[in-house]
Structure 1
Amino acid sequence: MTDLLETLVENREMVQPNHANMLETAHGGNVMKWMDEVGAMSAMLFSGETCVTARVNQMNFERAIHVGDTAFITAYVYDAGTSSVKVRLVTEREDLRTREREQTTESYFVYVAIDEHNEPTTVPELTVNSEEGECLRRAALEGDDDH
């Protein structure tokens, strides 16, 4: 069994000119890639297995992340099936000089744990052993349209 808080991953990506579109803001494809990588890390911490992306629910880009700002990405596992792992991902625009953050993107990814033969393999049971973990899980379940 793995506790939800053990799956919490936070990562930053500095938005450089090569990550930007013609408006000098992060290209949505780069943001999605960064979210997918951080989500996979969370799923692998949970399962102890290699995890591959199986599904992404809708992804709304609510605000731009400008060149020079960072994309602050938070991921955690909030539910699991036999071989599937559900991860909530939130990206915020962060100004490192002021430490100001505002949410730009939220999504829910499903990963599948695979074995050495690239076949689905079982994952452990998710546990929630703290009030903080309960709050995170509740927030994810409320936001996941498919749950």
Structure 2
Amino acid sequence: MTDLMETLVENREMVQPNHANMLETAHGGNVMKWMDEVGAMSAMLFSGETCVTARVNRMNFQRPIHVGDTAYITAYVYDAGASSVKVRLITEREDLRTRERERTTESYFVYVAIDDENQPTSVPELTVGSETGEELRQAALENESTVA
């Protein structure tokens, strides 16, 4: 069994000019790629297996991330099935000079754990052993179908 808090991954990506669109903000495809990579790390920490992306829930880009800012990405596992792993992902725009952050993107990804033959394999049961973990899990369950 793996505790939710053991799956928490936080990562930063500096938005460089080569990541930007013509408006000098992070291209949505780059943000999605970064989210997918961090989400897979979380799913793999949980399952102890290689995990591949099976589904991306609705993804809305609420605010831009400008060149020079960082994309601060948080991911954690909030539910699991027989071989599937549900991960909540939140991206925030961060100014490293002021440490100011504001949410830019939120989504819910589903990964599938695979074995050495690239076939689905079982994952452990998710446990929640802290109040913080329970708050994170409840927030994900309440918001997964209403991501705006």
TM-score scaled by structure 2? Answer: 0.98
In 1, distance between residues paired with 2:121 and 2:144?
24
1:139 partner SS? helix
> What residue number does 1:63 align with?
63
Runs of at least 5 residues in structure 2 that lack an aligned partner in the other structure = none
> Deviation of residue 145 (structure 1)?
1.1
1:141 aligns with 2:114: no
For residues 70-129 of structure 1, give each alpha carbon's deviation from its aligned partner in whole angstroms, at most 9, with x where no partner exists: 000000000000000000000000000000000000000000000000000000000000
The answer as to 2:93 corresponding to 1:93 is yes
Query: Where in structure 2 are the equivalents of 1:10-21 lying within 5 Å?
Result: 10-21=10-21
- Give the aligned partner of residue 42 of structure 1: 42
Aligned to 1:73: 73
Q: Determine the structure 2 residue equivalent to 1:6.
A: 6
> In structure 1, the residue corresponding to 2:30 is in which secondary structure?
helix
Partners of 2:145 and 2:106 lie apart in 1 by: 12
For 2:124 and 2:77, the matched residues in 1 are separated by: 12
Identity across aligned pairs (percent)? 86
CA RMSD between the two structures:
0.7
Q: Partner amino acid for 1:107? A: S
User: Which residue does 2:121 correspond to in 1?
Assistant: 121
Number of residue pairs aligned between Structure 1 and Structure 2: 146
Partners of 1:31 and 1:99 in 2: CA distance: 19
Q: 2:55 is paired with a residue of what secondary structure?
A: strand
Where 1:118 maps in the other structure, the secondary structure is coil
Q: Runs of at least 4 residues of structure 1 off by over 2 A?
A: none
Query: Residue type matched to 2:99 in 1?
Result: R
Q: Distance in 2 between matches of 1:139 and 1:70?
A: 24
